């Protein structure tokens, strides 16, 4: 098996998720020996508009600092591919937990709801990723069961109608 290395630093391993914009892989930061998650923009979506949106998504995530929001570590463009490198949140997703335990205890449901509401409050201060209203997707596949109830990967934006400004580039 050929190992794929991004930016001479990040090793891509198995695919752990897939969404509308990209696929997410488990990886390893070779410099720090730290497990990571790497989101790769789907090649067929790599239009100028989608690449700009993907980059803004990474910048939005980088601006957020909260225990319930996954941390953005790096953004890489290499060989016409685009990557967002994030910390890896282990433990499976809420949809898997609900398949195993269809009726969760009330206290656990309340804790999940409060953590998600707290994360939403933090992320609601950012401008939208796209020029249109951009509604945050909260669904069980985006909620890890590790105790860090992050709306995971880079689903880190809210519907904000008062501002249409793009996130400034760094």
Delimit the domains of the chain by residue range: 4-87
Query: What is the β-pairing status of strands 22-29 and 4-6?
Result: unpaired
CB count within 10 Å of CB 108 equals 12
What is the rounded average pLDDT of the residues 88-100?
Answer: 83
Give the model confidence (pLDDT) of 112-166 as tens digits: 888 777 777 766 665 544 333 333 456 666 666 665 444 443 343 322 222 233 3
DSSP state, 144? B
The string of pLDDT tens digits covering residues 58-90 is: 888 888 777 777 889 999 999 999 999 999 988
The highest-level CATH class for domain 4-87 is alpha beta
pLDDT for the residue numbered 149: 41
Say whether 22 sits in a helix, a strand or coil: strand
Which DSSP string corresponds to 59-91?
HHHHH---TTSPPEEEEEEETTEEEEEEE---S
Structure confidence at residue 68 (pLDDT):
72
How far apart, in whole angstroms, are the C-alpha atoms of residue 10 and residue 86? Answer: 11
Would you say 69 and 38 are in contact if contact means Cβ atoms under 8 Å apart?
no
Residue 74 is encoded by which pair of tokens?
A: 């790096």
Q: What is the pTM of this model?
A: 0.71
């Amino acid at each position: 098996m050929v190992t794929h290395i991004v930016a001479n630093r990040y090793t891509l391993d198995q695919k752990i998720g897939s969404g509308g914009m990209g696929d997410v892989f488990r990886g390893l930061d070779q410099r720090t020996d730290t497990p990571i998650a790497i989101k790769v923009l789907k090649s067929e979506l790599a239009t100028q508009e989608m690449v700009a949106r993907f980059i803004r998504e990474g910048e939005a995530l980088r601006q957020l600092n909260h225990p319930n929001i996954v941390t953005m570590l790096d953004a890489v463009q290499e060989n016409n591919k685009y990557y967002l490198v994030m910390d890896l949140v282990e433990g499976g997703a809420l949809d898997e937990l609900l398949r195993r335990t269809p009726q969760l205890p009330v206290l656990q449901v309340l804790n999940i709801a409060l953590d998600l509401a707290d994360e939403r409050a933090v992320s609601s201060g950012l401008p939208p990723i796209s020029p249109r209203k951009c509604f945050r997707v909260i669904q069980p596949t985006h909620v890890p069961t590790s105790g860090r109830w992050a709306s995971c990967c880079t689903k880190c934006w809210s519907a904000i109608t008062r501002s249409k400004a793009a996130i400034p580039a760094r």
